[in-house]
Structure 1
Amino acid sequence: MKIITESPRLMIREFTLEDAPAVLHFNTPELVNRYTGDAGVCTTLTDAEDIIRTIWLVEYQQYGFGRWAVVVKDTNTVIGFCGFKNETRINAVDIGYRLHPDYWGMGLATEANQACIDYAKAHMDLDVVYAYAADANTGSINVATKLGMVYHSQYQEGELTFNRYEILLKAGGSIDNV
């Protein structure tokens, strides 16, 4: 288990297969996937294991990063994910998160993602990072803006309209029109 970074209340670390029950737990509530396009993707323990094995563990090997486990320090409970994804559809890196609804409204999403941004500035070779949020998802839009991300553009995917946000991580870097 590789610890990536920490914040006052959270530890951010790589997922392991032992986290499958937690991955299933934070993906099960319908509210969690309302705006993600992932509804119904993780409904069994096998689904959760497959996500860890075939997506996250592969991304750690391939890119050196991926979605990481968000762990509450006080209870050692995995409550969701945060971190980066090499989004090949746009040839750029995005930051995202997903938390169980029991942990919404406490500032944990902002805290976790700020820790990731700080980690990226210090340890990753990224100039710019993007975030995507359905325009109806005010919670995620608030997280993006609290991180210092700025509105970039809007696009349609199926029935949902998404806002794209960006943040420049390195001085002298450039923001491309994605």
Structure 2
Amino acid sequence: MDTYLETERLVLRRFTADDADLLTELDSDPAVMRYLSGGDPTPPEVIRERHLPNILAGYEKWNGDLGLFAAHEKDGGAFIGWFILRPEAEGPLDEVELGYRLRQSAWGKGYATEGSRALLGKAFTELGVRVVWAETMSVNRGSRNVMEKLGMTLAEAIPVPSDMMAVEGSEHGGVRYEITEEQWKQR
């Protein structure tokens, strides 16, 4: 396994071309996709033909330092989902997005906070990042709680993309949280 980062209970690694089934299974759970697509699964061909090639291209673009990373439990090796640490497509490399998508079986165990905290540390100590941001729907209290535990602060309310207007809670909009290197060091 090409380890990218380890925490007490998790191993994060780069995805490979053989991981389409893991992504398909994750995105087929209506509860996982609730605030992303209203519960609709991502079609397997979209994952194989678009998502996975984009993930792999991201490693090339950012020298393997930034991108989407598969998360596995150290104890037993079960795939629990993914974490993301990457800039916007044409954005500056010192402003990166933090995110995660975890299997239901991994919810409520502190994995989102643990993996995200490790990524913040890597971003601010090794990668020269100045600010990390994360976005979610206003009604996604679970994700907002993780962001707040990490010391991220609410930066602004944001509109929900037009293709997500049918998603439950979309009428309440979204939120963007941020943390700067300076704020992180003070924690």
Gaps spanning 5+ residues in structure 1: where? 172-178
Q: Is residue 148 of structure 2 the alignment partner of residue 145 of structure 1?
A: yes
Contact 1:25 1:100 in 2 (8 A): no
Judge conservation of contact 1:14–1:68 (CA < 8 Å) in 2.
yes
Task: Give the ranges of 4+ consecutive aligned residues of structure 1 lying more than 6 Å apart after TM superposition.
Answer: none
**% same residue:** 29
2:6 corresponds in structure 1 to 6
User: Alignment partner for residue 113 of structure 1, among 111, 116, 120?
Assistant: 116
Secondary structure (helix, strand or coil) at the match of 1:17 reads coil
3-state SS in 2 of match to 1:139: helix
Q: Which of 175, 178, 181 is the matching residue for 1:166?
A: 178
Q: Which stretch shows the higher mean deviation, 102-111 or 88-97?
A: 88-97
Question: Aligned runs of 1:10-89 on 2, under 5 Å?
Answer: 10-37=10-37, 40=40, 42-44=42-44, 46-51=45-50, 53-64=52-63, 65-88=66-89
TM-score, normalised by the number of residues in structure 1:
0.85
The worse-fitting range, judged by mean Cα deviation, of 116-125 and 47-56 is: 47-56
Shift of the 89–139 alpha-carbon distance from structure 1 to 2, 3 Å rule, reads farther
Q: How many residues align?
A: 170
Point out the structure with the larger strand share.
1
Q: Cα RMSD between the aligned structures?
A: 2.1
Query: Against the structure 1 CA distance between its residues 79 and 38, is the aligned structure 2 distance closer, same or farther, given a 3 Å change threshold?
Result: farther
How far residue 63 of structure 1 moved from its aligned partner, in angstroms, is: 2.0
